[in-house]
Structure 1
């Protein structure tokens, strides 16, 4: 399997934490030296391991915010 390199440019926020200490986080990450994108996934305590996630560019993040703002959550 190819070695994936990443650099967390900004830790935006933590959404939740599991009983094992993994945190679901929104971060701004550069993958393999590319332009940073917003990334939502589970991380181990020191960011040494990660779960599957979703990566969004700025336009996708704005659209997601719009969709969430229009949801009836009650």
Structure 2
């Protein structure tokens, strides 16, 4: 059985896409289990009650990713 966890979306940075069922792929700043917020990229339902698998990035990781995109 999975442990309970908590989350708070601190800031919605942007919505990348939305599917026919209303789920949106979003980039947000999210605090997981009352920890400092991280950049978070994943699918969310319209009420932000259910979520898909995603990735979280620290500020440093996010800055490195931005550098990689600029080099493309």
1:8-40 CA-partner distances (Å, limit 9, x unpaired)? 000110001111110000000000011110100
In structure 2, what is the Cα distance between the partners aligned to 1:67 and 1:31?
26
Corresponding residue number in structure 1 for 2:49: 48
Unaligned runs of 5+ in 1: none
TM-score (norm 1): 0.93
Q: Which runs of 4+ in 1 moved over 6 A?
A: none
The alignment yields a C-alpha RMSD, in angstroms, of 0.6
Corresponding residue number in structure 2 for 1:70: 71
In structure 2, what is the Cα distance between the partners aligned to 1:37 and 1:31?
8
Residue pairs, 1:1-74, within 5 angstroms: 1-71=2-72
In structure 2, what is the Cα distance between the partners aligned to 1:10 and 1:60?
18
Unaligned runs of 5+ in 2: none
1:43-65 CA-partner distances (Å, limit 9, x unpaired)? 00010100000000101001101
